[in-house]
Structures are given as C-alpha cells and as structure tokens.
A and B are shown apart, each in its own frame.
Chain A
Amino acid sequence: MLRYVIRRLLLIIPTMFFVALITFSLAHLAPGSPFDKNPNRPLPEETIARLERYFGVDKPIPEQFVIYVGNLLRGDLGNSFVQRGRPVSEIIGQGIGVTAQLGVQALLLALAFSIPLGIISALKQNTPLDYFSLLIATIGTTIPGFVTAIFLIYIFGVSFHLLPFVGWGTWQHSIMPTFVLALGPGAFLTRITRASMLEAIRQDYVRTARSKGLREQSVIVGHALKNALIPVATIIGPATAGLITGSFIIESLFNVPGIGRFYVLSINGRDYPMIMSTTLLYAFIIMIANLTVDIVYGALDPRIKVS
C-alpha cells in the first residue's frame, strides 16, 4: 500500500512536467508579443523590447522553458504580465481562498442533495418521485452551468431582486454561484447513487439482513447504503475536476474574485506566467484528488486490491 502511494506520488512529477511542457509550448506558439495587445494605442517598439527583456520573453522558447522550470522548482512562479508585474503567487494566494470556499461549499451542497435524492429514487424505483429526480439529474448533467446561472439570475436577481448576482462579499453573494456550481456534479452523483443503490438492494446480504428480521431502516442504512456509497466515493475525483472547470466560468459570470476568473482574464491577456501557474495548480489538484480517491476506494472496499 505504502509503495503504491509512493509510486503514484512520484508519477505526479513527470505528468506535471508534461502538463507544463504542453501548456508552455501552446502559450508560446501564439504569434506576436504579449505586449502589443491594444491596436488602437500601440506601444512604441523600444518599450515592447524593454518589456520583453524585463520579463525574459525575448529569449529562445526552449531557454525560457528551462528558466521557467528552474524558477518553479525554487518556488518562484514569476510575475504577472498584465497586473503590473505583481507576483503570480500573490495573485493566486489572493484568489485561492475564494475559489476554495466556493468549491467546498458546492461540493458539500452537491453531496447533501444528491445522496438522499439518489437513495429515495432507488427505493421508489419507477414511481413519479423517481422520474422526477432522474429528470432533475438529467437536466443538471446536460445543461451547462452558465445557462442555468442565466435562468437563475433572471428569476432571482433581475425579476425579484432577491439575491445579488455580481461580486462577492456577503453570504448572499455566494448562494447562486454555489448552487450553480453544485448542480452539475450533484446531478451526476445522484445518478451514480441511484444506480449503485439499485444494485445494492438486490444483493444477497440485504436479503439476509431483512430475513433475519432487522428493521427496514437499519437494512437500508446499515447494510445497503454502506455498500452503495463506495462507488459514490470514487466520483469525488472527477467531481473535483468538474468543480474546477465549472469554477472559472461561474466566477467569470458572477464576477467572483477567485482564481478561475483570473484564469479566464489571463488567457485573454496572454499572461503566460498566470496561465502556466494556474494550469499547473489545477492539474496538481486533480491528480491529488484522483490519488486520494484511489486510496480511499481501496480502504473502503477490501474486495478491491490496489496494485
């Protein structure tokens, strides 16, 4: 087990390297300089040259990559091109709290509504209640978050003025972004919980539990649910990825000052150090999430042999 964890942890290093290499190459493939963005008010040649020298983008691309990786290993993420040379670590440090709060809230909300909904749906299979929760789950997985967000903003923000939909600060600000962000992963979790619960309640051990006279409640909670939740736990990994991709759209839409919004801004502004750092951070989080899930899966289910 320990060897497996160490091997997986070590595998993160080459994967991160390739993620960095691919992102770096793509970012630098784009023609032109990152500093000549404004065609109406072009910067003088020598200013661009000086800026490029200052940020080191006048060097050959392979050399830039080596320098970047060297700095990265020393913990230096570089300075943002767009935000007046502020260190990227400072910008990320500022946004990550907001993004993490939003992500955790959304994940908790998703778990809070998806697991009960999935269980009820499985227990009342082929009833209107089941169809209703399946419909909700289908809508949640199919319709993109920003479209749902638009409908919600229209209803709660524009029509009835119940909730603020721009900015961040009070808890009211976080209601709609959290809900929209939770909807996709939550809907997916509902489907998984339902499917896995349907399988569990048909197992022999559930029949045994019932025939030895246990109360229905303890059959469902103590025997069926315990096993049904194992596959659900594995979905938390992909759900984290879903939350991350969701976050930069939702943050842009609701003007939430998290790293997701900075990421979209940095892509449009060709802010290489920001693009690199955020992408690497996202990739790292996803790899850690997947690893955690694999370990937890092995611990939860002794039938699974980690290899």
Chain B
Amino acid sequence: MATAVTTRQQQQRAAELNVIARKQRSLWKDALTRLLRNKAAIAGMIVILFAAFVAIFAEIRIDAIGLHFRLAPYDPVADQNTPKALMEPIWTQAFGSKYTDPAYIMGSDQLGRDILSRLMFGSRISLIVGFVPVAIVFVIGGTVGMLAGYVGGWVDNSLMRFTDIIYAFPDLLFVIIIVATLRGTAFGDILGGLLLIFVGIAIVGWVGLARLVRGQVLSLKHREFIEAARCIGATPTRIMLKHLFPNVLAPVIVSVAFAIPGAMLTEATLSFLGVGIRPPTPTWGAMINEGFVVFSSTPWPVLLPALCISIVLLAFTFVGDGLRDALDPRMKL
C-alpha cells in the first residue's frame, strides 16, 4: 500500500517535473524555431557545413588501418615545380586565356602549386582558428567573468584594471605584437606557429567575454531566484553553475558566434602581414600575401582565397545575426 502511494506521488512529481522541464526547454526551442526560419542564417550554416566537409575530407590519413583518402587533387605543400606555374583557372579559357591547364581547375600559383588544393587545405586552418581560440575564450572568459561578477573582490578589481590596459591596445595590434615577438621561440614553433596564434587571439579575446559575463551576473545576482537559491543553502558553486550560467548563456552564445569570424579574420590578417602560420602551410591569408607579388600579371592566386575568406566570414556573420535575433528579439542592431 505504502509503495503504491509513493508511486502515485512519484508519478505526480514526475508529471510536474515534466511540465517544468518542457517550460524550460521552450525558450531554447523557440529560439531554434526562430533561427531555422531565418533564411540568411540557414544559408550561412550550409556554407559552414560545406567548408567543414571540405576541411575534413581534404585529406584523411590513418596509417594504422592503411586508410588514405584525399579529396584535394594534389598535395598542397610539395612544389610541383613544373613549367605549369601561374596557370589560370579553366573557366578563363572561355574568355580567351591561353594559360590554362585542365589539371589545374582553379589554376596554379607562382611555384606551380594547385590553387584548388591549397584552398581546400587552407579551410582547415581557418576553421580551426575560428573554433579553438574561441573555445579557450569561452572557458577562461566565462569563469573569470562569473567569479568577478558573483564573488567580486580582487578578481573583479584585477579584471577591471586588466581590461583598461587591454582596451588601450587596438586588439589586432596586441595580437600582432605577441605573435611577432614570440615566433622565434620554441613555443612559437609548436604546430608551425598555430598554437601561438591560438594563444594570441585568446589572450586578447577573453577579456571582452569576461566583461560581458560580469555585467550580466551583476544584474542577475540580486534577483529573487538567486536569493531563493541562497536561502535554501545552495553553495556558491552550485548557484553559479546551475542558476547563473544558464541565464547568461544567451548573450554569451551571441558573442561567441561573432568571435568565431573575428578570430578567423585575425588569423587571415596575421598571415597576410607575414607573421601568421609558417609557410608553406597553406592558409587563405598567406595565399593572398604570396600571390600579391604576381597580382598585376594574374589576379587568381589572390582573388580566389580572398573570395573564400569573404564567403566564409559572411556565412558566420549571418549565423551570428540569426542567433542574436533568435535568442534576444529585443536586441536588434
């Protein structure tokens, strides 16, 4: 008998929980519906998925099972060093170009390397640089901002002072100084300089996110639901993770969505200025930099990577715009 009552109670409770659970999800579900209705955001996502597909399957090599698959027509790094340098894309044949070769769909650069293959491999760097530093920024900026806002004290003070200093640097300038000066060190050599770029972007980037989270937490921490949680004896850690974190997530997601193209842009700019990832690793920014020498004789080695950067950056911005509109319809800009 007793068990039956418990069961009924449990059932009732489960039903209640279900209702609450559905209510909690509906905010995100709403946002998702709004996002999926946004045509520009959908187009952006398709472009990003396509870029990710190309980046992953540009080359897959797992020696253990003898798998070697390459979507890209050629190796992007080895100089072909044939007389077939500076070929133009095959479609230019229609406009009377004599310098085309069916082997090079999008032409070749001054070292005879296939542009299509280099573009495909370049998408890897761009996407990795888009996501990894932003993940670091999310973890560090989120944690520091949360602590500064909720606990306050010296964390808050040092965050604010540090932000004052960082804000006095134009952010790109700071990344350039970090990357350019530490390139020669052993640390700057790891992954061909990729790690240094991650760190450079993250060091500058986390401050903005920390400030954002801090501001949100400051405005939330005196609300009733936080006080209620404190009253029933929730630990500060629990309040921060279970109560504050979900509530600051929406603006954080928006900020992160815009940080991704920001990081990609920074990498492209660094590579363009010649302080990015070491050649011959293909990145779009570096391809522009290298191709600029021959720009007046053939524009394709520069135009094609420039086009790729533009399209992918726009795709990320459209998704970011869509996320912002979906998560906070009031926040129109």
Contacts and interface: CB of A to CB of B under 8 A. Distances in A.
Interface of A: 11, 15-16, 18-19, 22-23, 26-27, 29-32, 138-139, 141-144, 146-147, 150-151, 153-154, 158, 191-192, 195, 198, 241-242, 244-245, 248-249, 252, 264, 267-268, 270, 275, 279, 282-283, 286-287, 290
Nearest to A166: B296
Contacts of B184: 30-32
Contacts of A287: 168
Nearest to A264: B273
A146 B272 contact: yes
Contacts of A154: 295, 299, 302-303
Nearest to B186: A31
Contact of B169 (A29, A141, A151, A279): A279
Contacts of A139: 314
Nearest to A195: B333
B109 interface: no
29 contacts: A15-B164, A27-B181, A29-B181, A29-B182, A30-B184, A138-B318, A138-B321, A139-B314, A142-B261, A142-B314, A142-B317, A143-B313, A144-B309, A146-B272, A146-B288, A147-B288, A147-B306, A151-B306, A158-B295, A191-B333, A195-B333, A198-B332, A244-B170, A245-B170, A249-B269, A252-B273, A275-B177, A279-B169, A286-B167
A142 B168 CA distance: 23
A268 B180 contact: yes
Interface residues of B, number: 42
Contacts of A270: 181
Nearest to B298: A158
Interface string B217-232: 0000000000000000
Contacts of A195: 332-333
A150 B269 CA distance: 13
B265 interface: yes
Interface string B130-172: 0000000000000000000000000000000000110111111
Given A142-B314, A150-B302, A158 B332 contact: no
Contact of A144 (B167, B171, B265, B333): B265
A108 B171 CA distance: 23
Given A141-B317, A195-B332, A147 B310 contact: yes
B275 interface: yes
Contacts of B273: 249, 252, 264
A268 B272 CA distance: 13
Nearest to A22: B165
B185 A29 contact: yes
B127 interface: no
A153 B168 CA distance: 32
Contact of B269 (A30, A31, A144, A286): A144
B255 to A, nearest CB: 15
A23 B176 CA distance: 11
B268 interface: yes
Query: Which one of A143, A147, A241, A286 has the highest number of Cβ atoms from chain B below 10 Å of its Cβ?
Result: A147
Contacts of B90: none
Contacts of A192: 333
Contacts of A198: 332
Contacts of B321: 138
Interface in B224-277: 261, 265, 268-269, 272-275
B178 interface: yes
A195 B332 CA distance: 7
Given A15-B168, A154-B299, A267 B333 contact: no
Contacts of B274: 268
Contacts of B288: 146-147, 150
Contacts of A31: 184-185
B268 A144 contact: yes
Contacts of A147: 268, 288, 306, 309-310
A47 B327 CA distance: 63
B4 interface: no
B312 to A, nearest CB: 10
B177 A279 contact: yes
Contacts of A153: 295
A15 B160 CA distance: 12
Contacts of A11: 164
Contacts of B191: none
A142 B313 contact: yes
Given A142-B310, A143-B309, A248-B173, 18 more contacts: A18-B165, A22-B165, A29-B181, A31-B185, A32-B184, A143-B314, A146-B272, A147-B306, A150-B288, A150-B302, A150-B306, A151-B303, A245-B170, A279-B173, A282-B169, A282-B170, A283-B169, A286-B169
Given A23-B177, A146-B288, A154-B299, A245 B165 contact: no
